Amino acid sequence: MSTRFKPKFNIKKGDTVVVIAGDDKDLKKPRKVLEVQIEKGKVVVEGVAIATKHTKPTAQNTKGGIVKVEAAISISNVMLWDAKTSTPTKVKRSRLEGKLVRISKKSEEVIK
C-alpha cells in the first residue's frame, strides 16, 4: 500500500474481530487483534494464519527448533465484532464532545 497519505482503518490493537474471508473464516468466533500494520494494510489476529517458523539456537533460546506463530492477514478480511448484537458490524465515525469516536452501525453504540 504505497500511498501518499497514511490510511485510516477502523480496527485497532485489542479490538475483537471476526475473520470473514480466507482459510480461517468463522463468522461466529470472535478473536482478538494482536497487531495492526498500517503501512502494509495487514492485521495479526490471535489464532489465525498459523505459520511455522524455524529458529536457530540463541543465547535466549538454547534449543531452537520449529515455532508456531501467527502471520499477518489483510485488514479487509476481518470485520469488527459487536458484542451487544453478537454479530459482525460495520463502523462509522462521528464526533462526540469534540472527540472522534467509532460507532457500531448495528447497535449504534460507541466502540471502546
How confident is the model over 30-41, as pLDDT tens digits? 999 999 999 999
Do residues 42 and 75 lie in contact, with contact meaning Cβ atoms separated by under 8 Å? yes
Residues of the domain holding 42: 16-81
Question: Which pTM does this prediction carry?
Answer: 0.83
Task: Examine residue 100 and state whether it is found in any structural domain, yes or no.
Answer: no
pLDDT in tens, 65-100: 999 999 999 999 999 999 999 999 999 999 999 999
Phi-psi region of 59 (alpha: psi -120 to 50; beta: other; left: phi over 0): alpha
CA–CA gap between residue 38 and residue 112 (Å, rounded): 20
The pLDDT value recorded for residue 23 is: 93
If one counts the domains in the chain, the total is: 1
Q: Which of 67, 13, 20 is nearest to 48 (CA)?
A: 20
CATH code of the domain in which 20 resides: 2.30.30
Residue 93 lies in a domain: no
Q: Does 54 fall in a domain?
A: yes
